[in-house]
Amino acid sequence: MSAPAAVAVRTKPRITGLTTRLITVPLRRSWGVEAPENHVIVTEIHTDDGGAGHGFSWTPTIGPQAAKALLDYDIAPFVTGLPANPETVWDALWKRLHEAGGGGLTTIAMAGVDLALWDLQASRAHTSVTGLLGQRQASAEVYGSGVNLHYTLEELVAQTERWVAAGHQAVKIKVGKPDIREDAERVAAVRSVLGPDRKLMIDANQRWDLPTTLKALDVLAGFGLEWLEEPIRADDLWAYRRLRKHSPVPIALGENLHTIYRFRDFIEAEAVDIIQPNIIRVGGITPFRRIVELARTNSIRVMPHLLPELSGQLALTLAEPTLVEDVEEASFEQLGILAGPSPVRFSNSRVTLTNQPGLGFRFADAR
């Protein structure tokens, strides 16, 4: 009897290289003197079968050169030779970089690898990343958002009127003026434009401490707020646990939490109602999905933070409907840094796919 024929084992393509380039682009509407521009670190991964995956890392202010250096000098040599599987690469890379910090610049840099690998995997399957992960929503609601604390009252009202004219049923503004009476005046003016039925959220961007937050809520809670976002330093779990016990308004946070462990800590401490992971800051799609499942098992709502062209794609994979944040005139398409069409379309305050393969991001040459 002849020996059985050898069965060919199909192996995963292996990474042969990672390249990066930095794009710095001025914002069309400045986010203030501390954030007049955004930084995108474009990433491209190549594999031994000729494949290529395209991704990016991002930061509005701190560390674009540092994130690029991590990618070039620490991450690229480590991932070269690994199978091009996003989840196994992410876990190995997180362990490798942990000495430099479990989150922050390390996870921001890691996102560039993770996104590129998911782009590669979906492109190989001739589908979008949304399709690869499983699309559960045909569209998602978009809310108007603005980094507008430095706006005059007249400018803030005009922005709100633009959001209403665009059909937004929910908007978010910044608070945190030195005098809470000025915050109250601005929130009242925005509520007047919105009317009673549209959702209004406020974001204090860590400007307050616990006593100040409680005093502010005494003044602002009466305006029918959907949530109060990150009023206290994001590291202060003790304060958030106490705040949520006394707040008449749901508490949202997460843009400055970088690992699933920190999200777990806040959820288990019953310190948060809504989590807002930023897909880049947590390290990419792989950890974002894990954080979402953690939230679901604890009945916590998920509202992804910023980057609507990326967040919009992932929002369509979530089991429960969510809101996608769209800061006025700050999408990659509006900033003019895409070399091709956007992977998503915004219309009538909804986001839908344009059905491009992979993640659909191709960035223009640096300007």
Tell me whether residue 305 is one of the annotated catalytic residues: yes
User: DSSP for 12-38?
Assistant: PPBEEEEEEEEEEEE-SS---TT-SEE
Residue (of 324, 307, 322, 336) closest to 57 by Cα position: 307
Which residues lie closer than 8 Å to 216 by C-beta, 6 or more apart?
Answer: 175, 180, 183, 204, 208, 231
CA dist., res. 231 & res. 321, Å (int): 25
| Cβ burial, residue 104 (10 Å; 0-12/13-18/19+) | middle
- The one-character DSSP state at 222 is G
| Identified catalytic residue from 46, 54, 172, 305 | 305
| Identified catalytic residue from 39, 172, 174, 258 | 174
- The one-character DSSP state at 141 is E
Which residues lie closer than 8 Å to 293 by C-beta, 6 or more apart?
Answer: none
Tell me whether residue 215 is one of the annotated catalytic residues: no
Active-site amino acid positions: 174, 305
